[in-house]
Structure 1
Amino acid sequence: MRLLKIIPDNTNIGFVRVRHIAFAITAFLTVAAVALVGIHGLNMGVDFVGGVSIEEKFPSEPHLDQVRSTVNHLGFGEAALQQLGDKTTVTVRLPVPESSDPAATNTMVEAVKAALKSKFGAEFTNYSTVSGKVSGELVQNGILAVLLAIVGIAIFSWFRYEWQFGISTAVAIIHDVLMTLGFFALTQLVFDLNIVAAVLTIIGYSINDKMVIDDRIRENMRKYRKMGMSELIDLSVNETLPRTVMTSLTIMLALASLLIFGGEVLRGFTAAMMLGIVVGTYSSIYVSSSLLITLGLKPGPREEKPNAASGAERVG
């Protein structure tokens, strides 16, 4: 078991003393993530933008301009293309046909299949369709789900601990979500309902990790009433550090297997989860815990010992 112990017991790392550096890095990365989303936007999947997504497997890596030109000449609208995996698999995204008749969609898919097979030797894999109305509802529901999760967890922390814990929890979770969005804006991986599920899972993991540290902080606040808040938080984080690191590494091993063997469908979900574990662990250790000091959290008042006079009164 000693060989498996990555973090030794009784560590004494000064996390709080570098909180200003951590806050600066966090602020910079958060602003960068928001800027990436604003400039590049997210590569929304069919779930959110609507349309018909047709997946084709080519014998070798195709020239996307030629594929786009071939599809556009079919007269179904402007095609959006994305290469997947080894770049021989291409997703062709087209607008939903004006006619609501499923036969119109089937006609579109068959025409694209025939054109790409004739010119490039591509093999059809699958296709999916989402209407514009449904995609709009999915966007609203996805945003609402994330916001409700953040607000609900912050309120829970507020009532369970102190208001400072609620605010620090909300800040940490918002940081984790924005980091994930910035990653998808940078990489332009498809952002679909699977990624929303990953974001909600990241929120759940982050709050679980943070609750462990918060519980230890509250326990130590009652146990060491004379200790300064900086020393108390460092003590609490160091005491929970082996659990935090080992949990994160265990999950990362499982996600790495899923990334390698899970196939293209789960690749975006797994990448989001791996990033979320890293930023969630970082925010729990360096951001939310140290933020409690900035928000003015103090240890509880010391219990007053009964003096001799009060003792005499009780005896009398």
Structure 2
Amino acid sequence: MQIFDKGKIYNFMGIRWVMFAISATLFFGSIALLFTKGLNYGIDFAGGTLIQVKYHDKDAPIDLIRDKFSSNEILKNASITEFGSASEITIRYTTTSDSLGNNPGAFVADMLKGSGEFEIRRVDVVGPKIGSELREKGIMAVIVSLVLILIYIGVRFEWRFALAAIFSEIHDVVIVLGAISLLSIDVNLDTLAAILTVLGYSLNDTIIIFDRIRERVKESKFIELFGVINESVSLTLSRTLMTSVTTLLAVITLFFYGGDMIHGFSIIMIIGILIGTISSVFIAAPMLSWFRFSVEEYRALMVAKELRKKEKEKIRAMYEKGRL
């Protein structure tokens, strides 16, 4: 579907410094948040116990529950929060099941007797050692993804495209982590899955624009890089907008109707799609100029490469005919 006039070229690079300023503010603001506020590691990465309780006859009596827990050395510092509705709560504490016996769900159920009709819907227990290992593997997964992206784009395009894409991906990850810190979203395996999904989405957007830039470098009437970028982004604008809008609609639907279990995932995806779309146009593409990418030099390289290819084909044809 072609939404915008295919023949019209929009001057995206004319506002690149404004977008750089906004991106730099978000980027360094996110770094400041990560150093000051940090990340709120969930049960998956920090270790501990999560118990989900559902009350059937009334709203969860949070104050009463805190009073009941106050006599227990471990549970008195537990985090008790509503989960989706006033009748459902989660109880989190940072120690494992051994501290409250082999069945923490039964222990908590016993503590809550007399608070109303309820059921224990979920009990998750993660030891601190396992949580630490999951956290390390999660960080390694992101690093390995970035390295593989660098190799893939370096092979498919050239080193300047690869570096621009990596800087863009790092930009996206840092801003997403800053949003996670600001909104106090628990960092767990779902969060990690959302971050890796954002990386893939942003990379796909960047590669499509890079592919069109490489194509237009050969055929465009423009000699300057920013003219080629404007032309390339304008040609992919309809596709970019349709992809972003349809993906956002799906994720926003998940946010409102998918339940509390995936709220964190949905929020990260919404922020990541917006940031990834913007960075593909205003971060990755303009960065090619920082690495001294020249349209004229690239065209000269392509001409030389084509001549070498024709020369090899000529020599091969002569060899096959017995002239060499």
TM-score, normalised to structure 2, is 0.84
Q: 1:62 deviation in Å? A: 4.7
Q: 1:282 deviation in Å? A: 0.7
Q: 1:33 deviation in Å? A: 1.1
**Residue in 1 aligned with 2:29?**
32
**Residue in 2 aligned with 1:269?**
265
Read off the aligned partner of 1:80 and give its amino acid letter: S
Q: 1:150 deviation in Å? A: 1.0
Q: Secondary structure of 2:260's match?
A: coil
**Residue in 1 aligned with 2:309?**
none
Alignment match of 1:165 (pick from 161, 170, 183): 161
Q: Partners of 1:131 and 1:203 in 2: how far apart?
A: 29
The 1:60/1:27 distance shift into structure 2, 3 A limit, reads same
- Note if contact 1:72-1:79 (Cα within 8 Å) is conserved in structure 2: no
**Residue in 2 aligned with 1:234?**
230
Alignment match of 1:224 (pick from 207, 211, 220): 220
Residues 116-164 of structure 1 deviation map (CA, whole Å, 9 limit, x = unaligned): 3523655422111111111010000000000110121022212221221
Q: Partners of 1:93 and 1:158 in 2: how far apart?
A: 45
Read off the aligned partner of 1:192 and give its amino acid letter: N
**Residue in 2 aligned with 1:12?**
9
Q: Secondary structure of 1:290's match?
A: helix
The 1:235/1:193 distance shift into structure 2, 3 A limit, reads same
Q: Partners of 1:285 and 1:87 in 2: how far apart?
A: 43
Q: Which moved more, 1:6-15 or 1:261-270?
A: 6-15
Tell me, yes or no, if structure 1 residue 180 matches structure 2 residue 176. yes
Q: Partners of 1:234 and 1:99 in 2: how far apart?
A: 61
Q: Secondary structure of 1:196's match?
A: helix
**Residue in 2 aligned with 1:132?**
128
The 1:240/1:187 distance shift into structure 2, 3 A limit, reads same
Q: Secondary structure of 2:112's match?
A: helix
Q: 1:204 deviation in Å? A: 0.8
- Note if contact 2:195-2:268 (Cα within 8 Å) is conserved in structure 1: yes
Q: Secondary structure of 2:95's match?
A: coil
**Residue in 2 aligned with 1:292?**
288
Q: Which moved more, 1:75-84 or 1:290-299?
A: 75-84
**Residue in 1 aligned with 2:71?**
73
**Residue in 2 aligned with 1:44?**
41
Q: Partners of 1:186 and 1:226 in 2: how far apart?
A: 43
Q: Partners of 2:261 and 2:95 in 1: how far apart?
A: 22
Alignment match of 1:55 (pick from 43, 52, 56): 52
- Note if contact 1:97-1:105 (Cα within 8 Å) is conserved in structure 2: no
**Residue in 2 aligned with 1:89?**
88
Q: Secondary structure of 2:73's match?
A: coil
Q: Partners of 1:234 and 1:154 in 2: how far apart?
A: 24
Q: Partners of 1:206 and 1:233 in 2: how far apart?
A: 17
- Note if contact 2:153-2:162 (Cα within 8 Å) is conserved in structure 1: yes
- Note if contact 1:96-1:105 (Cα within 8 Å) is conserved in structure 2: no
**Residue in 1 aligned with 2:110?**
114
Read off the aligned partner of 1:71 and give its amino acid letter: F
Q: 1:70 deviation in Å? A: 2.9
Q: Which consecutive residues of structure 1, in runs of 5 or more, have no partner in the other structure?
A: 305-316
**Residue in 2 aligned with 1:210?**
206
The 1:34/1:117 distance shift into structure 2, 3 A limit, reads farther
Q: Secondary structure of 2:245's match?
A: helix
Residues 76-118 of structure 1 deviation map (CA, whole Å, 9 limit, x = unaligned): 3531233332354322112334749xx8231x32232233352
**Residue in 1 aligned with 2:317?**
none
Q: 1:67 deviation in Å? A: 3.7
Q: Partners of 1:51 and 1:123 in 2: how far apart?
A: 21
Q: Which consecutive residues of structure 2, in runs of 5 or more, have no partner in the other structure?
A: 305-324
**Residue in 2 aligned with 1:21?**
18
Residues 252-311 of structure 1 deviation map (CA, whole Å, 9 limit, x = unaligned): 12112222221111221122112111111010011111111122111124459xxxxxxx
Q: Which moved more, 1:89-98 or 1:284-293?
A: 89-98
Q: 1:18 deviation in Å? A: 1.6
Q: Which moved more, 1:164-173 or 1:217-226?
A: 217-226
Q: Which moved more, 1:202-211 or 1:153-162?
A: 153-162
Q: 1:225 deviation in Å? A: 7.0
Q: Partners of 2:144 and 2:83 in 1: how far apart?
A: 33
Q: Partners of 1:267 and 1:186 in 2: how far apart?
A: 15
Q: 1:172 deviation in Å? A: 1.1
The 1:127/1:180 distance shift into structure 2, 3 A limit, reads same
TM-score, normalised to structure 1, is 0.86
